């Protein structure tokens, strides 16, 4: 079974040794835990797909230790909008604006990146986490890390080390799980923006609100050539069936509350969307394990700011084939 260890210097050293040997570890970031491996190593990337049971057509995000490292991996033109976003968000000192932005960029020819990280459109997704443990680990590994969320494909994302452990119980596992003392600060995945053209497109709403974008997600695509497969209808799913926009629970349901619509757990009694995002996956994990009838009613979430990303996750979490 994967060992959960503290993210002190010794833990980071152990994790980076595993990465250098081509193995996988789970690392905390400010959004969710990632299942990380050496982005230069084809075998490590293959192992990520096997461990997550992830469809081969769903590409991975590459994590770098500092913004300048992106220039080794992607073609970023001087004065381009991609460069502006890197300056505004990856370099930004405001801790609320840092670390939760993934950019889709044109891959640089002949970089050392595993070819399987580069899409058929020659794009790659890059994230520069601000989280100190993630940053230290990437720096100690001395390579960029490919890391999807540390869950089995389609299941709820992990915001605590124990969620990672539960996710892979009885299955192929990461070699170790670096435990952050506290749960992931934002609690929802990064915002993904396609920054290859002067017109920006949001591919996935997430933990960072970026006013520069047109705030309109691409139309959902369920074709072979999916633009961002996180946009597949069924995703982020608990075992229980979710009923959305519920103002009260039925007798056979547990309830995930928000604001005045209280429940067995309340995402934010004061109706604060940032607090709701922070609790979102954790409370779904908890209700899912408590639920006898496997039914959870979910209070309405206002469709604004990070509420847009929350409603996006809820839509996919509640999706059932017609
Ligand atoms: O917060 C996060 O982004 C977390 C942490 C661990 O970094 N990672 C994460 O990875 O959510 P994952 O694999 O669960 O979701 C990544 C999403 C997928 O929907 C994938 O399709 C999309 O990013 N993606 C990756 N590379 C892409 C590319 N080149 N073009 C478009 N979408 C891409
Ligand atoms: Mg994921």
What is the band of 298 on the pLDDT scale with cuts at 50, 70, 90?
very high
The sign of the dihedral angle between the CA atoms of 127, 133, 21, 156 is negative
Closest CA to 179 of 25, 17, 21, 16: 25
Render pLDDT for 14-63 as a digit per residue (tens, 0 to 9): 999 999 999 999 999 999 999 999 999 999 999 999 999 999 989 999 99
Query: Is residue 218's pLDDT more than 70?
Result: no
Question: Does the CB atom of residue 189 touch ligand 1 within 6 A?
Answer: yes
Question: Does the CB atom of residue 30 touch ligand 1 within 6 A?
Answer: no
> Which residues share a beta bridge with 123?
106
What is the band of 291 on the pLDDT scale with cuts at 50, 70, 90?
confident
Question: Does the CB atom of residue 153 touch ligand 1 within 6 A?
Answer: no
Q: What is the pLDDT of residue 293?
A: 83
Instruction: Please give the model's pTM, rounded to 2 decimal places.
Output: 0.94
3-state class (DSSP) for residue 26: strand
Render pLDDT for 233-288 as a digit per residue (tens, 0 to 9): 778 899 999 999 999 999 999 999 999 999 999 999 999 999 999 999 999 999 99
Question: Does the CB atom of residue 102 touch ligand 1 within 6 A?
Answer: yes
Render pLDDT for 72-129 as a digit per residue (tens, 0 to 9): 999 999 999 999 999 889 986 766 667 999 999 999 999 999 999 999 999 999 999 9
Tell me whether residue 110 is exposed, middle or buried, using C-beta atoms within 10 angstroms of its C-beta: 0 to 12, 13 to 18, 19 or more: exposed
Whose C-alpha lies nearest to ligand 1, atom 19? 230
Could you tell which of 103, 135, 148 is best to mutate to test the pocket of ligand 1, judged by most ligand atoms within 8 Å of the CB?
148
Q: What is the pLDDT of residue 229?
A: 53
Question: Does the CB atom of residue 148 touch ligand 1 within 6 A?
Answer: yes
> Would you state the structure tokens that stand for residue 182, as one six-digit string?
């506290």
Question: Does the CB atom of residue 228 touch ligand 1 within 6 A?
Answer: yes
Q: What is the pLDDT of residue 115?
A: 95
Q: What is the pLDDT of residue 92?
A: 64
Query: Is residue 219's pLDDT more than 80?
Result: no
Q: What is the pLDDT of residue 155?
A: 94
Whose C-alpha lies nearest to ligand 1, atom 29? 124
3-state class (DSSP) for residue 287: helix
Distance between CA atoms of residues 74 and 277, nearest Å: 31
Which atom of ligand 1 is the closest one to the Cα of 227? 31
For the chain, what is the radius of gyration of the CA atoms?
19
Render pLDDT for 152-208 as a digit per residue (tens, 0 to 9): 999 999 999 999 999 999 999 999 999 999 999 999 999 999 999 988 999 999 999
DSSP state of 115: G
Distance between CA atoms of residues 37 and 18, nearest Å: 9
Q: What is the pLDDT of residue 210?
A: 80
Distance between CA atoms of residues 30 and 127, nearest Å: 12
Q: What is the pLDDT of residue 51?
A: 98
> Which residues share a beta bridge with 145?
38, 63
Q: What is the pLDDT of residue 215?
A: 46
What is the band of 216 on the pLDDT scale with cuts at 50, 70, 90?
very low
Contact status, residue 12 vs residue 178, Cβ threshold 8 Å: yes
Question: Does the CB atom of residue 179 touch ligand 1 within 6 A?
Answer: no
Q: Which ligand is nearest to the CA of 207?
A: 1
Share above pLDDT 70 across residues of the chain, in percent, rounded to a whole number: 92
């Amino acid at each position: 079974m994967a060992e959960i260890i503290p993210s002190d210097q010794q833990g980071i050293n152990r994790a980076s040794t595993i990465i250098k040997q081509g193995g996988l570890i789970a690392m905390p970031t400010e959004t969710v835990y990632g299942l990380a491996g050496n982005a230069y190593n084809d075998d490590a990337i293959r192992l990520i797909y096997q461990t997550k049971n992830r469809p081969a057509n769903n590409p991975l995000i590459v994590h770098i230790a500092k913004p300048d490292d992106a220039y080794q991996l992607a073609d970023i033109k001087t004065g381009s909008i991609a460069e502006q976003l890197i300056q505004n968000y990856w370099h930004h000192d405001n801790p609320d604006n840092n670390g939760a932005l993934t950019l889709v960029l044109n891959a640089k020819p002949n970089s050392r990146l595993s070819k399987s990280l580069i899409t058929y459109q020659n794009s790659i997704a890059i994230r520069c986490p601000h989280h100190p443990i993630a940053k230290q680990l990437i720096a100690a590994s001395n390579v960029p890390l490919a890391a999807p969320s540390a869950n089995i494909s389609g299941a709820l994302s992990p915001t605590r080390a124990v969620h990672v452990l539960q996710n892979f119980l009885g299955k192929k596992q990461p070699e170790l799980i670096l435990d952050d003392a506290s749960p992931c600060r934002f609690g929802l995945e990064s915002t993904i923006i396609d920054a290859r053209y002067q017109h920006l497109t949001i591919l996935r709403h997430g933990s960072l609100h970026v006013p520069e974008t047109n705030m309109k997600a691409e139309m959902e695509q369920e074709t072979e050539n999916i633009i961002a497969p996180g946009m597949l209808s069924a995703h982020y799913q608990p075992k229980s069936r979710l009923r959305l926009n519920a103002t009260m629970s039925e007798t056979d349901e547990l309830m995930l509350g928000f604001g005045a619509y209280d429940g067995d757990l309340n995402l934010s009694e004061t109706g604060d969307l940032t607090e709701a995002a922070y609790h979102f996956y954790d409370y779904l994990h908890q209700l899912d394990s408590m639920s006898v009838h496997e039914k959870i009613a979910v209070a309405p979430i206002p469709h604004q700011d990070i509420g847009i990303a929350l409603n996006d996750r809820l839509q996919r979490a509640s999706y059932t084939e017609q």
